[in-house]
Amino acid sequence: ENTSCVPLQVPRRRLVIANGGGNFVSTS
């Protein structure tokens, strides 16, 4: 799911990719 520039979690940042607009998408 796409979130508005809101990082899910710091340690899980590796499972999150930043979209061009700066949106974080969980790739888990």
Number of domains in the chain: 1
Structure tokens at 12: 């899980």
Q: What is the spatial distance between Cα 12 and Cα 10, in angstroms, rounded to a whole number? A: 5
As beta bridge partners, residue 2 has 25
Give tens-digit pLDDT for 1-28: 555 555 655 555 555 555 555 555 555 4
With H, G, I as helix, E, B as strand and everything else as coil, classify residue 22: coil
Residue 18's domain spans which residues? 1-28
The predicted structure's pLDDT at residue 22 = 53
pTM as predicted: 0.13
- Residue 12 φ/ψ, nearest 5 degrees: -95, 15
